[in-house]
Amino acid sequence: MADTAPAFQKTPVTVLTGYLGAGKTTLLNRILTEDHGKKFAVIVNEFGEAGIDGDLVVGADEEVFEMNNGCICCTVRGDLIRILDGLMKRKGKFDAIIVETTGLADPAPVAQTFFVDQDVGDATKLDAVITVTDAKWLKERLKDAPEAKNQIAFADVIVLNKTDLVTPEELASVEAAIRAINPYAKLHKTERCALPIDQLLDRNAFDLDRILDIEPDFLESGHHHHHSDEVRSMSFTIPGDVDPEKFMPWINDVSQAQGPNILRSKGILAFKGEPRRFVFQGVHMILDGDLQRDWQAGETRESRLVFIGRDLNENELRKGFEACAA
Amino acid sequence: MNTTTAPVSLREHVVPVEAGAHVVGAHWLGSTLALALADGRVLRWTDSVSDQVEAHAGGILCACGDAERLMTGGDDGRVVALTADGGPAELARDEKRRWIDAVTLSPSGSLAWNTGRTVHARDDKGRVTSLDLASTPQGLVFAPKGYRLAIGQMNGVSLWYPATQTKPEFLDWKGSHLDVVWSPDGRFVVSSMQENALHGWRLGEKPSHMRMTGYPAKPRSLSWSHDGLWLASSGADAAIVLPGRRPTGQGAARMRRPPRQGHPRRLPPQGAGPRGRL
């Protein structure tokens, strides 16, 4: 068999989440059966029940454990490390890997596995977290299932499925509920998960070089329901440079003190005296950042942060960030 | 009288063998080298003559052997034995095709392997017993003497007598335990861990802990010296050789840290702080 990917390239991994019955398996089957000429290795939960089979379908038991590194929210998927290690010995048999999680899974341990385990990080790269949601039942689930909320908050791509089962008004309302939690994900409205798979794969959502812009995909309306356990996003902008001597300690403190409540974070920053943009992203307490390309002529040097999380104190975070201004 | 001889380069004795796939395990069956390959084949090489056997329908995930047989576990859910000249013999098959992540042989010819969270042991008379665990085992090793199996898993190592109904003894240590080795004198069990560390236990009434942390990478290859006095480990640029016996003491004594300079890869997070270049 011809090698389908050069040996030096990291194999992209797409994580597929979604609450029970939202249509994950339908989407997975669509990805696998559509005529795209790509080969996938698929890691599924509840082996045998997913209705898919093949050489490169692997059953996984979600074995989450805490790293002994003093970081309480640093949980990873041990089974995923083991399975990816086994799959990567057969590199060249497939172009990409898809990980399907259970309906009740928290996506964070899956994502953190790619940052924490060096062998996994060396051989593969997390491409995106895709969350499938059910237009008819999502609003109910957001009330009673924290997992459903986490999955929306964590997503890079949201497939709002079963739109044929609701009225246009209901659809607008469920979309607003999603956007209140996560205005940054790409959202696709579908029936039976019908959408072109190039909208799902090769997203590079975790690639620092591809975080060009963190403008919301959807402008958040000012309307918020405030109750405990609220998951939502917030963004802060400083119209100019920040002082890295102030910003670095601050962001480290924030991520350590509030890491368990911060689901995802991203930032593009202008450091004083630095011609390049500083870009970072985070999952809970794990931060990954680097100086990237130059600020271009005509581009406004500004510093911007986004947090998606639970029970975050917006005023405190804003004040803390604004104090980092150069 | 001239007693010196010209130095002979080791290279003159090295013959490359082109395997054509990732080599999961290499094992000598007498004078035949058996290479278990990630594409499911076993390549047998005897004095520059080689043949290959399609041992598994998928890929080979693990391999072990004794003087006569190579044992392989595959992602087709099968355990296969192969001699230096015969065809593959299937020893076990999982109907659900679950991966065989670990396989091990005892000096007396007993075999153990896993399918998912279940460990199976087959004694030298062919009787199979099974044990269900809370997580998928990654490391299996028999005691040097007697029919007892050490099982590396999440949050510790189980010591199981497959021939009895006794509940396995559980050596408890939080974290993910990968490979397991047993010292030749049977007194120590050591596991490699996700956090680039070794964890060991001195067995007895109250097993005592030993820790070895600070490896730049996971120490996935471990081997005892024949006298059991030293344990060699991978996980660094140099092989780290540890004294296997230490003065008796209390609690979790920390052995000397290995050298960590010059490793080409970035260190993973050691504390609660952020990783990487921030």
**Mean pLDDT confidence for A54-63:** 79
Q: What is the DSSP letter of B207?
A: P
Which segment, A178-182, B44-48, B147-151, is predicted with the most confidence on average? B147-151
Q: Is the model's pLDDT at B63 over the cut of 90?
A: yes
Question: Position A38: which residue type?
Answer: K
Residue of A nearest to B267 (CA): A118
**Mean pLDDT confidence for B210-234:** 90
CATH placement of domain B14-84: 2.40.10
Reported as a single tens digit per residue, the pLDDT across B37-54 is: 999 999 999 998 999 999
Closest-CA residue to A281 (of A202, A211, A186): A211
- Provide Rg for chain B, Cα atoms: 20
How many CA atoms lie within 13 Å of A131's alpha carbon, on the beta-carbon side? 27
C-alpha B216/C-alpha B41 separation (Å) is 32
Whole-number pLDDT of residue B41 = 96
ipTM (interface predicted TM): 0.81
Q: What is the token pair recorded at A194?
A: 């019908």
C-alpha A216/C-alpha A232 separation (Å) is 13
Q: Determine the distance in angstroms separating the CA of B159 from the nearest CA of chain A, rounded to an integer.
A: 21
Of residues B175, B194, B272, nearest to A71 (C-beta): B272
Question: Are A182 and A153 in contact, with CB atoms under 8 Å apart?
Answer: yes
Rounded to the nearest angstrom, the gap between the alpha carbon of residue A276 and the centroid of all alpha carbons in its chain is 25
Q: Is the model's pLDDT at A99 over the cut of 50?
A: yes
**Mean pLDDT confidence for B180-209:** 93
Closest-CA residue to A123 (of A90, A75, A99): A90
Going A96 to A101 to A106 to A112, the CA torsion angle's sign is negative
Contacts A282 to B, Cβ<8 Å: 274
Q: Is the model's pLDDT at A158 over the cut of 70?
A: yes
**Mean pLDDT confidence for A186-209:** 89
C-alpha A305/C-alpha B271 separation (Å) is 24
C-alpha A91/C-alpha B22 separation (Å) is 9
Of residues B136, B195, B266, nearest to A79 (C-beta): B136
Contacts B155 to A, Cβ<8 Å: 65
Whole-number pLDDT of residue A66 = 84
A86–B265 C-beta distance less than 8 A? no
**Mean pLDDT confidence for A151-160:** 94
Q: Determine the distance in angstroms separating the CA of A321 from the nearest CA of chain B, rounded to an integer.
A: 16
Choosing among 3.40.50.10540, 3.90.1150.10, 3.10.20.30, 2.130.10.10, the CATH entry for B85-276 is 2.130.10.10
A69–B136 C-beta distance less than 8 A? no
Q: Determine the distance in angstroms separating the CA of B8 from the nearest CA of chain A, rounded to an integer.
A: 36
Query: Chain A within 8 Å of B135 (Cβ-Cβ)?
Result: yes
Query: Between these two residues, A223 and A297, which has the higher pLDDT value?
Result: A297
Question: Are B255 and B244 in contact, with CB atoms under 8 Å apart?
Answer: no
Domain ranges of chain B: 14-84, 85-276
B58–A55 C-beta distance less than 8 A? yes
Of residues A71, A116, A289, nearest to B278 (C-beta): A289
Q: What is the token pair recorded at A239?
A: 């119209």
Contacts B276 to A, Cβ<8 Å: 287-290
**Mean pLDDT confidence for A4-13:** 72
Q: Which residues pair with A238 in a beta bridge?
A: A303
Whole-number pLDDT of residue B245 = 57
Query: Chain A within 8 Å of B138 (Cβ-Cβ)?
Result: yes
Q: Is the model's pLDDT at A221 over the cut of 80?
A: no
Taking CA A235 as the corner, what is the angle to CA A234 and CA A236, rounded to the nearest 5 degrees?
130
Whole-number pLDDT of residue A164 = 94
C-alpha A42/C-alpha B152 separation (Å) is 26
C-alpha A96/C-alpha A251 separation (Å) is 33
Q: Is the model's pLDDT at A240 over the cut of 90?
A: yes
Question: Are B173 and B199 in contact, with CB atoms under 8 Å apart?
Answer: yes
Q: Give the whole-number percent of chain B exceeding pLDDT 70.
A: 86
**Total length of chain B:** 278
Q: B223-233 burial, b for 16+ CB within 10 Å, e for fewer?
A: ebeeebeebeb
**Which residues, 6+ apart, have CB-to-CB distance to B188 below 8 Å?**
B182, B200, B201, B202, B203, B210, B244
Q: A215: pLDDT confidence band, cut at 50, 70 and 90? A: low
Reported as a single tens digit per residue, the pLDDT across A268-279 is: 999 999 999 999
Q: What is the mean pLDDT of chain A?
A: 86
Pure H helices in chain A: 24-33, 78-88, 107-116, 118-123, 138-144, 146-154, 168-181, 244-258, 314-322
Question: Are B135 and B152 in contact, with CB atoms under 8 Å apart?
Answer: no
Q: What is the DSSP letter of A189?
A: E
In three-state form (DSSP H/G/I as H, E/B as E, the rest C), the secondary structure along A27-50 is HHHHHHHCCCCCCEEEEEECCCCC
Q: Give the whole-number percent of chain A exceeding pLDDT 90.
A: 56
